């Protein structure tokens, strides 16, 4: 009888505390330069898988690469994975303003089936009328609980700086910086290089003034996954060639991978590492102590330890890199729920 009472007491205590609580769905915003490198597409696949598992609510996707091709490709991805109404915001006159290049994302949008029709369906084809990303941020953030949103930024910082500089509007009485401080809990970036200060990492170098502003003035904690992390974890081209044959009518991420470079090739997973940390935290990585990150006028990123700092960066051991690579392959090759129906 005593043992039974002890067990009953444990059960009651468990339900009175946290045992009956379901994990809280994380609120996530993705900020991407999709089209410049195919690792953005791999990162998007991870986000859709987290979404279908109920682990995140992907609130919006911001595009910091100019042109309609990136938004069109994201519309294809949203539709194909079964989330056609995830809003997409675009940059106009951004850091890469000019004629649109035929990048891998644009190539996928131009693919046709045997009947000469677009290979992949769209849901919102009026791309020229998409909202500016920094305004869409205001609309979305204003609707969220305080200190609840994680932003994963895997491209240029242009949209984020434009958001900080926004005034009060119909969506919120707060300035952009005030709105971010109130609604965002964490910014995770793919940016920088802390092993080689002479290397000017691409996401930083394309818009150096914006990167300087983000690392110096962004009002929430920032964690960055630098170049050397993704460079240590290569997604195998053999997986693209062999693990997606179930998609008889085409897989938009696999087709993008094939269109990016001549196959076969293994590609760095810079952006997926940022998404992995944004959703799952640092258990799979080595996380630096707290400190400050500064960007030089040339585009170098420098870290200074400071126990009162709010910036950190990631690194990986060879063992961690191997483990993350296996995890990426397992998740990315999984058939999406929407396509399995």
**Sign of the dihedral defined by the CA atoms of residues 297, 301, 307, 312, in that order:** positive
Q: What CATH number has the domain bearing residue 307?
A: 3.90.245.10
Query: Given a cut of 60, is residue 21 above it in pLDDT?
Result: no
Report pLDDT for 22: 56
* Rounded mean pLDDT, 17-36: 80
How far is 233 from 266, CA to CA, in rounded Å? Answer: 9
* Residue 44, burial from CB neighbour count under 10 angstroms (0-12, 13-18, 19+): buried
Instruction: Give residue 141's Cα distance to chain centre.
Output: 17
> Would you say 53 and 85 are in contact if contact means Cβ atoms under 8 Å apart?
no
Question: Is 94 inside a domain boundary?
Answer: yes
Question: Is 106 inside a domain boundary?
Answer: yes
- Of the given ranges (7-11, 183-187, 319-323), which has the lowest mean pLDDT? 7-11
Question: Is 5 inside a domain boundary?
Answer: no
Query: Given a cut of 90, is residue 73 above it in pLDDT?
Result: yes
Q: What is the CA radius of gyration of the chain?
A: 21
- Of the given ranges (11-15, 109-113, 208-212, 253-257), which has the lowest mean pLDDT? 11-15
Go through the chain and tell me how many residues it has.
341
Banded model confidence at residue 23, pLDDT cuts 50, 70, 90: low
Question: Is 90 inside a domain boundary?
Answer: yes
* Residues 80-99 pLDDT 10s: 999 999 999 999 999 987 77
Report pLDDT for 11: 33
Question: Is 324 inside a domain boundary?
Answer: yes
Number of domains, the chain = 1
How far is 228 from 85, CA to CA, in rounded Å? Answer: 35
Closest CA to 272 of 222, 324, 320: 324
> Would you say 155 and 214 are in contact if contact means Cβ atoms under 8 Å apart?
no
For residues 107-119, one letter each, b for 16 or more C-beta atoms within 10 angstroms of the residue's C-beta and e for the rest, the string is bbbeeeeeeeeeb
* Residues 259-300 pLDDT 10s: 999 999 999 999 999 999 999 999 999 999 999 999 999 999
Residue with tokens 């940022």: 274
Closest CA to 202 of 71, 325, 40, 320: 40
Contacts of 212 (CB under 8 A, 6+ apart): 294, 295
Question: Is 121 inside a domain boundary?
Answer: yes
Banded model confidence at residue 16, pLDDT cuts 50, 70, 90: very low
User: Could you give phi then psi for residue 184, rounded to 5 degrees?
Assistant: -95, 140
Query: Given a cut of 50, is residue 6 above it in pLDDT?
Result: no
CA atoms within 13 A on the CB side of 155: 30
Report pLDDT for 100: 83
How far is 279 from 47, CA to CA, in rounded Å? Answer: 9
Closest CA to 255 of 299, 226, 247: 247
For residue 132, what is the DSSP state?
B
* Residues 186-219 pLDDT 10s: 999 999 999 998 999 999 999 999 999 999 999 9
> Would you say 284 and 324 are in contact if contact means Cβ atoms under 8 Å apart?
yes
Domain coverage including residue 129: 22-340
* Residues 94-118 pLDDT 10s: 998 777 888 999 999 999 999 999 9
Contacts of 135 (CB under 8 A, 6+ apart): 89, 166, 169
Q: What's the pTM?
A: 0.93
> Would you say 227 and 193 are in contact if contact means Cβ atoms under 8 Å apart?
yes
Query: Given a cut of 50, is residue 2 above it in pLDDT?
Result: no
How far is 103 from 94, CA to CA, in rounded Å? Answer: 17
User: Strand 26-32 and strand 56-63: pairing?
Assistant: parallel
Question: Is 287 inside a domain boundary?
Answer: yes
* Residues 28-65 pLDDT 10s: 999 999 999 999 999 999 999 999 999 999 999 999 99
* Residues 146-172 pLDDT 10s: 999 999 999 999 999 999 999 999 999
Question: Is 11 inside a domain boundary?
Answer: no
Report pLDDT for 287: 98
Query: Given a cut of 90, is residue 7 above it in pLDDT?
Result: no
Q: What is the mean pLDDT of the chain?
A: 93
Report pLDDT for 154: 98
């Amino acid at each position: 009888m005593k043992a039974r009472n002890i067990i009953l007491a444990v059960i009651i205590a468990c339900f009175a505390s946290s045992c009956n609580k379901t994990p809280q769905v994380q609120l996530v915003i993705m900020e991407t330069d999709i089209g410049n490198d195919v690792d953005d597409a791999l990162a998007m696949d991870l986000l859709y898988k987290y979404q279908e598992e109920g682990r995140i609510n992907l609130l919006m996707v911001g595009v910091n690469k100019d042109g309609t091709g990136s938004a069109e490709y994201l519309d294809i991805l949203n539709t194909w994975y079964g989330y056609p109404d995830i809003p997409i915001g675009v940059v106009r006159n951004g850091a890469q303003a000019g004629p649109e290049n035929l990048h891998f994302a644009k190539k996928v949008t131009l693919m046709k089936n045997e009947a000469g029709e677009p290979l992949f369906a769209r849901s919102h084809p009026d791309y020229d009328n998409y909202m500016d990303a920094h305004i869409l941020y205001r609309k979305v953030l204003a609707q969220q609980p305080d200190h609840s949103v994680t932003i994963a930024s895997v491209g240029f910082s242009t949209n984020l700086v434009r958001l900080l500089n926004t005034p009060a509007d119909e969506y919120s009485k707060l300035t952009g910086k005030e709105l971010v401080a109130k609604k965002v809990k964490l910014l995770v970036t793919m940016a920088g290089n802390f092993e080689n200060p002479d290397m000017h990492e691409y996401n930083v170098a394309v818009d150096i003034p914006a990167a300087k502003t983000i690392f110096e003035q962004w009002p929430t904690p920032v964690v960055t996954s630098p170049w050397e992390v993704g460079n240590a974890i290569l997604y195998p081209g053999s997986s693209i060639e062999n693990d997606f044959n179930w998609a008889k009518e085409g897989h938009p991420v696999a087709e993008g991978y094939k269109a990016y470079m001549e196959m076969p090739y293994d590609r760095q997973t810079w952006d997926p590492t940022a998404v992995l940390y944004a959703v799952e935290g640092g258990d799979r990585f080595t996380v630096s102590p707290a400190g400050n990150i500064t960007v030089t006028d040339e585009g170098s990123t420098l870290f200074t330890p400071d126990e009162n700092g709010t910036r950190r960066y990631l690194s990986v051991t060879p063992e961690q890199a191997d483990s993350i690579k296996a995890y990426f392959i397992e998740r990315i090759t999984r058939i999406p729920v929407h396509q399995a129906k």
